[in-house]
Amino acid sequence: MLPLAATELAMILSMAWSAARADASGDPGLVEALRRRDPQALARLYDRFGGVVYSLIYRIVHDAGIAEDLVQETFLKVWNQAQLLDPARGSVAGWLLTVARNRAIDWLRSAAARPDRTAWESYDAERPANFVDVEEVYISADQARRVRQVMEKLNANQRLVIELAYFEGLTQAEMAEKIGQPLGTVKTWVRTALQHLRKELAGAS
Amino acid sequence: MSCDELKEYYELYAIGVLELEERREIEEHLARDCALCQPGVRRARQLMASVALAAPEAEPPRRLRRRVLALVEPAAEKPSGVNWLTHAWATLAILMFVAVVWFISAGRSQDAQMAGLERRLTQVQNAHDDLAARNRLLGQALALVNLPDAAQLVFGSPDQQPPRGRVWVHAERGVLLLASRLPLAPTGKIYQMWIVPKKGAPIPAGLFNSDERGEAFHVWPRTVDVPAAAAVAVTLEPEGGVAAPTTTPLIAASF
């Protein structure tokens, strides 16, 4: 094989570095690489989503050490089941965030000795097939700002019930008991809050 | 319940906080492939996944990346015959050292002395681990250099700025890079090697640093698609490495 001329090498490097920039933003081929069990794909997945997964878990468990363990469990689960995700139609971010939240809520429930979901229910909610034919969850600093702005537009009661459901895993009956409000009132707050989220966030990804 | 009534519950179902009665209703609809509830629940899952972004940003510790990636690191290769023997002698030496430490400490009960000996033992163990790792790397490097079908690439020349060196690439045994005049990476930075394909983004090929004399030695013992490769490059990147290069190459050796 003849060595490349300096100009050819410069051109190839320039093209490769451009391709790298495109991959870093959209990362096509990441799911395929995960399915091939390419260890570098896990690094790419972590570099892209590690921050948001850690932030979500830390928000739920409020303990850095526990959060680290749960992040590790989350990525291990995704690594072990990635071959079940459809590279053309699946939302890897949606799946990853769901697995992360479930890990953290399960830990919270066991730490608080609250009745846990059965193993089957947890497993069922995390099936990669659940994240097929949905738009990818778009993760960026702008999108995070937008989601926070939408949450801030909720009134205090609506925001409280969404946070109790999402970050503490409480059912409406558990919320009613925790905040000392009638179940009917809590259901109204939840319903109006979800209507607002659907309107503001649906399709935003 | 009708689909119209159930659609109020899709999001609560998606995040697993729906009461049993409504949950069973939705599951019945999903089980019969309900044309409204199936896509409705899917959209709800996606919507609620995006609520995760409302969590305040928290910075994960740097070690967490290493912990996660360690989950899939290939197992260390079994030592070859010579390495095994070296390993065995080193282990025996450590055991003898432990025995001597034990006899000495049995005779002298001073805590300070014992702590000093324990520190020394740890140093010896660390040195042994370093040597074993270095030995393994050298074995891989020697094997690569001696393969007749390994491609040998050269970078740098007397009329160019440093660094200079050579790269050996073998389809099955991986890549060996030897460089000189490569300064020690600044604090918080590391050198990262890349396999640059003829088409597409560079493929990460491990992290390394130079020594005080400006000499670097890096082995990437993985398979390489040699016909598709155009060059091997090195960039300076943040400690821990990156998925895609963020700086221009300091080293570029073409095939």
Cα–Cα distance, A42 to A79 (Å, whole number): 7
Ranges A13-22, A90-99, A177-186, B235-244: which has the least confidence: A13-22
Within an 8 Å CB–CB cutoff, is residue B202 touching chain A?
yes
pLDDT for residue A21? 47
pLDDT for residue A136? 57
Contact check, Cβ <8 Å, B201/A172: no
pLDDT for residue B81? 47
Cα–Cα distance, B16 to A116 (Å, whole number): 11
State the best of A55, A74, A146 to mutate against chain B, taking most chain B CBs within 10 Å: A55
pLDDT band at A169 (very low <50, low <70, confident <90, very high): very high
Which residues are CB-neighbours of A76 under 8 A, at least 6 positions away? B71
Chain B partners within 8 Å of A85 (Cβ): none
Which residues are CB-neighbours of A110 under 8 A, at least 6 positions away? A116
DSSP alpha helix (H) spans, A27-140: 30-35, 39-61, 64-81, 92-111, 119-125
pLDDT for residue B110? 61
User: In whole angstroms, what separates CA A27 from the centre of its chain?
Assistant: 16
Chain B partners within 8 Å of A198 (Cβ): 11, 47
Query: Taking Cα atoms as reference points, which of B157, B153, B155 lies closest to residue B170?
Result: B153
Question: What's the average model confidence in pLDDT over B67-89?
Answer: 63
pLDDT over 50 (residue A23) = no
pLDDT for residue A90? 65
- How close B87 gets to chain A, by Cα (Å)? 28
Asked if residue A159 lies in contact with residue A151, where contact means CB atoms within 8 angstroms, the answer is yes
**Chain B residue at shortest CA distance from A10:** B252
Asked if residue A168 lies in contact with residue A101, where contact means CB atoms within 8 angstroms, the answer is no
pLDDT over 70 (residue B113) = no
Q: Which residue has the higher pLDDT, B143 or A137?
A: B143
Within an 8 Å CB–CB cutoff, is residue B15 touching chain A?
yes
Question: What's the average model confidence in pLDDT over A5-31?
Answer: 64
* Partner residues linked to B231 by β-bridges: B196, B254
- In the sheet that holds B174-180, the strands lie side by side as B151-155, B164-170, B174-180, B216-220
Which residues are CB-neighbours of A188 under 8 A, at least 6 positions away? none
Question: Residues 39-98, chain B: which have Cβ within 8 Å of A?
Answer: 39, 42-43, 45-61, 64-65, 67-69, 71-74
Q: Which residue has the higher pLDDT, A204 or B160?
A: B160
Write out pLDDT tens, residues A51-75.
999 999 999 999 999 999 999 999 9
Burial of B161 (0-12, 13-18, 19+ CB in 10 A): exposed
pLDDT band at A180 (very low <50, low <70, confident <90, very high): very high
Asked if residue B93 lies in contact with residue B127, where contact means CB atoms within 8 angstroms, the answer is no
Q: Which residue has the higher pLDDT, B130 or B171?
A: B171
AA letter at A203: G
pLDDT for residue B26? 92
Question: What's the average model confidence in pLDDT over A90-102?
Answer: 87
pLDDT for residue B52? 93
Cα–Cα distance, B180 to B249 (Å, whole number): 16
pLDDT for residue B78? 43
pLDDT over 90 (residue A145) = no
Rounded to two decimals, the pTM is 0.56
- How close A56 gets to chain B, by Cα (Å)? 5
Cβ burial A66-101 (10 Å sphere, 16+ → b, else e): bbbbbbbbbbebbbeebeebeeeebbbbbbbbbbbb
Asked if residue B233 lies in contact with residue B58, where contact means CB atoms within 8 angstroms, the answer is no
Asked if residue A53 lies in contact with residue A71, where contact means CB atoms within 8 angstroms, the answer is yes
pLDDT for residue B103? 61
Contact check, Cβ <8 Å, B242/A55: no
pLDDT over 70 (residue A3) = no
pLDDT for residue A195? 93
pLDDT over 80 (residue B119) = no
Q: Which residue has the higher pLDDT, B34 or B98?
A: B34
- How close B230 gets to chain A, by Cα (Å)? 7
- Distances A21 to A1, A111, B117, B199, B247 between C-alpha atoms, Å: 29, 43, 52, 14, 11
Cα–Cα distance, B101 to A35 (Å, whole number): 51
Question: What's the average model confidence in pLDDT over A143-168?
Answer: 93
pLDDT for residue A22? 42
pLDDT over 80 (residue B187) = yes
Question: Residues 148-187, chain B: which have Cβ within 8 Å of A?
Answer: 151, 153
The DSSP line for A62-78 is --HHHHHHHHHHHHHHH
